[in-house]
Amino acid sequence: MSEKAKTEHLGTNLDQIPFEGLEAVGKIFAEGAIKYGRDNWKKGTGDKEYQLERLNHAIRHLMLYANDDRSEAHLAKVAWFCLTQIWHEAQQTKPTPEIKWEVTTAYMDSKKDPEMGLIDNANDIRILIPNLSSDDICGLMEEGVCKYKKDKNIIYLQNKDGDIIRAYATVYTKAPITRPAQAEPIAPVSRPAETE
């Protein structure tokens, strides 16, 4: 008898998640994409006000479901909140790689059409290459930089004649990993005191 293939166990039983539940939550994601734009919810990372508002919506849906309201997919909306909140809290502990731009002498890849654009002012350069100093940016403007070509990880700054004034390449450096002891919880919902 041949030996069984060996594998590592993930420690998660993703195959046990009911399809009906996934489908119901998927519909909520689809509704949100139409109403607010795909992945709009991801912009809420680190935004406690947004997350608290979503928590309040989830509590409302749970209470409506508990009171036999079946006019909406209340449980799917609660599950949507739980899944997206887990994602938000996971992002808070992820290290963000620092991206720097450094001068390069690399040549443009002629096999591929590069992204091109105009540079109207110093702010356009600052957006393209965030880590440049103000002096560097002023110097580039004085040299007549007015357009750019971006090819893979290299940006070529050009004058009006198309001459390359300077080229910058991305350099990825590891950011220090700072992990909080615990993900910061959402502030509890405050309710007004009841009066008789």
**pLDDT score recorded for residue 178:** 44
- The DSSP bridge pattern shows strands 147-151 and 98-103 to be unpaired
Beta carbons of 154 and 104 less than 8 angstroms apart: yes
The residues, any chain, with a CB within 8 Å of residue 132's CB and separated by 6 or more, are: 101, 125, 126, 140
In this structure, the answer to whether residues 65 and 107 fall within a common structural domain is no
**86 and 123, same domain (yes or no):** no
What pLDDT, on the 0 to 100 scale, is given for residue 98?
53
What pLDDT shows up at residue 55?
A: 93
Domain interval for residue 129: 98-172
Q: Is the dihedral of CA 137, 115, 33, 95 positive or negative?
A: negative
In a domain, 178, yes or no: no
User: Do 103 and 166 reside in the same domain of the chain?
Assistant: yes
**Which domain-ending residue is among 91, 109, 143?**
91
Q: Answer yes or no: is 184 within a domain.
A: no
Strands 98-103 and 164-173, sheet pairing: antiparallel
Last residue of a domain, one of 91, 107, 133: 91
- Among 80, 69, 70, smallest CA distance to 35 is for 80
Residue 177 has what pLDDT? 41
20 and 37 within one domain:
yes
Estimate to the nearest angstrom the gap between the alpha carbon of 145 and the chain centroid. 31
Instruction: List, run by run, the mean pLDDT of 10-residue segments along the chain (196 residues).
Output: 71 88 95 91 87 93 95 95 91 60 53 73 82 83 86 82 82 48 46 53
102 & 168 share domain? yes
Residues 48 and 82 in one domain: yes
Structure confidence at residue 105 (pLDDT):
54
Question: How many domains does one find in the chain?
Answer: 2
pLDDT computed for residue 141 by the predictor? 87
